[in-house]
Amino acid sequence: MVTVNTRRSVMTLFSSPTCAMSHCARLALHEKGVTAEIEYFDPTDPPESLLELNPNGTSPTLVERDLVLYDARIIMEYLDERFPHPPLHQMDPVSRANARMIIKRIDQDWYNLLDEVLNSGEKKSARAKKMLREGLVAAVPLFAANEFFMSEDFSLIDCSLAPLLWRLPSIGIELPESAQIINTYAQKLFRREAFAESLSEEEHEMAKLPGKK
């Protein structure tokens, strides 16, 4: 966290149009129904207006008055606490702690592999792709246990999973018939109004929303 005089009267989310973590933050923003400006930028050439707030120029970066946050998971937690309705975490401390641990495992087990697929050499990328596919298939019982992922209610966990699942076709991962429950879960998330609103133009090209040509 950084506190500076940003001179911004409207909450602003600086976001890469293709980064999955940035997509998570955008999805949480839209699920909360928060009025904010989303400024897309090329992470390899961040604008000066962002560098003045976050010298690393990382995506996503959230700015609200004198507050600057630049970690997707912290941004998502902040939005949920700053705008309590609708809640994206259960209210009791044990459930919230468990949800945070699940998101941490998703990051460690699946997002790290997605990063390898996208940013490694051919051999390492192929290995990461295989591991990601196998990891998702192994989690089928978890996807099948509840209406949403390990919960009966939509939560920040689902905000974390939706961008990952959306990117599977674009990286050449097709789940087997035995994992159909994951595809069903994914389509349920993709049909949400907030998810459609969260997509950048580039993300629209990664896959198509159900029922749209």
Alpha-carbon radius of gyration of the chain: 17
Strands 37-40 and 2-3: unpaired
Query: Which residues of the chain fall short of a pLDDT of 50?
Result: 1-6, 209-213
pLDDT at 8: 56
Q: What are the structural domains, with CATH classification, of the chain?
A: 2-82 (3.40.30.10), 93-192 (1.20.1050.10)
pLDDT at 90: 81
- What's the rounded Cα separation, in Å, for the pair 100 and 16? 24
- Per-residue model confidence as pLDDT tens digits over 86-130: 999 888 899 999 999 999 999 999 999 999 999 999 999 999 999
pLDDT at 10: 83
**Active-site residue, from 13, 19, 53, 157:** 19
Compute the half-sphere exposure of residue 173: CA atoms within 13 Å on the CB side of its CA: 28
Strands 61-64 and 67-69: antiparallel
Per-residue H/E/C for the chain: CEECCCCCCCCEEEECCCCHHHHHHHHHHHHCCCCCEEEECCCCCCCHHHHCCCCCCCCCEEEECCEEECCHHHHHHHHHHHCCCCCCCCCCHHHHHHHHHHHHHHHHHHHHHHHHHHHCCHHHHHHHHHHHHHHHHHCHHHHHHCCECCECCCCHHHHHHHHHHHHCHHHCCCCCHHHHHHHHHHHHHHCCHHHHHHCCHHHHCCCCCCCCC
Q: What is the pTM of this model?
A: 0.91
Q: Is 19 a catalytic residue?
A: yes
